[in-house]
Amino acid sequence: MANNSLRSIIREITYKPKDRVELFVGLDDEDRLKVLPKLSRYVQGQLVGQLPQSVALPLLEHLDPDDTIDIMQALPKRKQKELLTEMTGNLQNTLSVLLEFDPKTAAGLMSLNYIQVDSEDKFKNFAADIHTHEKRTGKLPVILVLEQGKLIGFLPIKNLIFAKPEDKAKQFIKKIATIKYSASSQSVINKFLDNPHQKISVLSDSGNILGIIYSDDVLRLLQEKEASNLYDFAGVNNEETVFGSVKQKVKFRHRWLILNLGTTFLAAFAVSMFSEVIDKYVLLAIYMPIVAGMGGNSATQTLAVLVRGIALGQAEIKTAWPILRKEMGAAMINGLINGLLVAGIVTFFNRDLKIALILAIAMISNLLIGAIFGTLVPLIIAKLKKDPATSATVFITTATDVLGFIVFLGLATLVLR
């Protein structure tokens, strides 16, 4: 199948849920194996859950075991059991083990693509094990080295190319990072950031080897996390999809919109306190959205940086001051630049130096407000063990709207009397 044709089929299957099964079944076996791994996790689960067992089973048995476990985790427990009972022995055992673990933990991300050797074992003794594993799985295994039953490192395959039959495993050993099976997905990400380009061995509480996590598994996890953060940032539930029903979209979004509606009333109340000066100087009403909009945009930029920093373990409440100081410095400079620009525009078009000055000062002030709240709110929310990407935007935009209007209209009340 040509690349263009492949992309077209993937698009059709993704965006036409009613025709999904018919489109997929209409492909030949080779094309099914190409298409299925490229579909999103959600679509994979929906599709395989509806496929006849006679079609789904051969597919799952021929896919890479890592891809198969990802798809199986997206299926209902009943469907998982139905498929497992019909699978071949080795694959059934492998998948049964992996499906027992929470997919959001290190154990849920691991692969069983490894063999164990003793540090004193000679190459001639475990070369056959490598060949057997590769023949059974189609993959070269990670060779984990144990000493007195405890993991001490791994053997890079490339280092064994020139190994002699009598060479011992300990001659080629390299250190490998480890993590407990119950560690969160975020802990796995942090571990890989500390050990780039490495594999991680997953251990039980007693130190026994349970599996291996590869960098591509973490890359996929990061992509899913970014997508989830993007949904949260917009106030959209991460279970919502582009082809979800109207009912689903309303269900996932209405609470955030109602909460935002409440905050807009708060901003409206702040404006109503200055109705007298607005009535007298109508020009103020024209420039109010600029003050609020620029403050909101500045805060959103700061929030995006902080959420990323929190996710990567680079920012926490203890390090708030140096972060805040730099964000306020950037906000002050950006405020001066934009304040001078908007003051020049007001002076040129409206010939009103007082309003130009008020708008410039309000612009600087609201960008500083955005920097302060954009920095502190996500750090405080993270400290409270909540997701800052989900809830911080409501508090930050409320602050920049309400305080921005109060500063702008309050200055106008003082200066234009």
Over residues 244-254, the pLDDT tens digits come to 667 777 776 77
Ranges of H-type helices in 63-164: 65-73, 77-86, 89-99, 106-109, 123-137
Q: Please, which pLDDT band fits residue 225 given cuts at 50, 70 and 90?
A: low
Element (H, E) at 298: helix 283-311
- Written as six digits, the tokens of 5 are 């044709």
Closest Cα to residue 76, out of 99, 107, 52, 108? 99
Helices 353-383, 388-415: inter-axial angle, 10-degree rounding: 150
Q: What is the mean pLDDT of residues 111-122?
A: 88
- Written as six digits, the tokens of 379 are 């750090």
Distance CA 154, CA 321 (A): 42
pLDDT of residue 100: 79
- Written as six digits, the tokens of 50 are 């509806």
Distance CA 86, CA 82 (A): 7
Distance CA 305, CA 378 (A): 10
Q: What is the mean pLDDT of residues 339-359?
A: 92
One-letter amino acid at 390 equals T
Contact 51, 21 (CB under 8 A): yes
219: left (phi > 0), else alpha (psi -120 to 50), else beta?
alpha
- Is pLDDT of 187 > 90? no
Q: What is the mean pLDDT of residues 65-81?
A: 81
Give the mean pLDDT of the chain.
83
Q: Please, which pLDDT band fits residue 261 given cuts at 50, 70 and 90?
A: confident
Q: Please, which pLDDT band fits residue 239 given cuts at 50, 70 and 90?
A: low
Q: Please, which pLDDT band fits residue 342 given cuts at 50, 70 and 90?
A: very high
- Is pLDDT of 288 > 80? yes
- Is pLDDT of 389 > 60? yes
9 or 226, which is more confident: 9
Q: What is the mean pLDDT of residues 92-117?
A: 82
Highest mean pLDDT among 155-164, 309-318, 328-337: 328-337
Q: How many residues does the chain have?
A: 417
- Is pLDDT of 229 > 60? no
- Is pLDDT of 332 > 90? yes
pLDDT of residue 4: 63
Highest mean pLDDT among 19-33, 102-116, 178-192, 319-333: 319-333
- Is pLDDT of 132 > 90? no
- Is pLDDT of 59 > 60? yes
Q: What is the pTM of this model?
A: 0.53
Residue 139 Cα distances to 63, 67, 111, 416, angstroms: 12, 13, 12, 77
Q: What is the mean pLDDT of residues 165-185?
A: 88
Highest mean pLDDT among 183-197, 280-294, 307-321: 280-294
Long-range contacts of 74-79, Cβ-Cβ distance < 8 Å, separation of 24 or more? 74/41, 74/42, 74/44, 74/45, 74/48, 75/45, 75/48, 75/49, 76/49, 79/48, 79/49
- Domains in the chain (CATH in brackets) are 3-100 (1.10.220), 109-225 (3.10.580.10), 246-415 (1.10.357.20)
Distance CA 285, CA 295 (A): 16
71: left (phi > 0), else alpha (psi -120 to 50), else beta?
alpha
Distance CA 149, CA 158 (A): 25
- Written as six digits, the tokens of 120 are 């004193």
Highest mean pLDDT among 26-40, 60-74, 215-229: 26-40
C-alpha count within 13 angstroms, C-beta hemisphere, residue 245: 4
pLDDT of residue 179: 92
Distance CA 358, CA 268 (A): 20
| Structure-token match 């993704």, residue found | 14
pLDDT tens digits for range 357-375: 999 999 999 999 999 999 9
Q: What is the mean pLDDT of residues 337-359?
A: 93
Q: What is the mean pLDDT of residues 340-360?
A: 92
Start-to-end CA span in the chain (Å): 75
Q: Please, which pLDDT band fits residue 178 given cuts at 50, 70 and 90?
A: very high
pLDDT of residue 344: 94
- In the chain, the percentage of residues whose pLDDT exceeds 90 is 23
Q: What is the mean pLDDT of residues 320-326?
A: 92
- In the chain, the percentage of residues whose pLDDT exceeds 70 is 91
One-letter amino acid at 99 equals L
Q: Are strands 200-203 and 177-180 parallel, antiparallel or unpaired?
A: parallel
- Is pLDDT of 324 > 90? yes
Q: For the chain, give percent helix, strand, coil, nearest 5.
A: 70, 10, 20
Give the strands of the sheet with 142-147, arranged side by side: 114-118, 142-147, 150-155
Question: What phi and psi, each to the nearest 5 degrees, are found at residue 20?
Answer: -55, -50
- Written as six digits, the tokens of 266 are 């708060």
pLDDT of residue 46: 85
pLDDT of residue 197: 66
Residue 32 Cα distances to 36, 44, 48, 123, 221, angstroms: 6, 12, 11, 40, 24
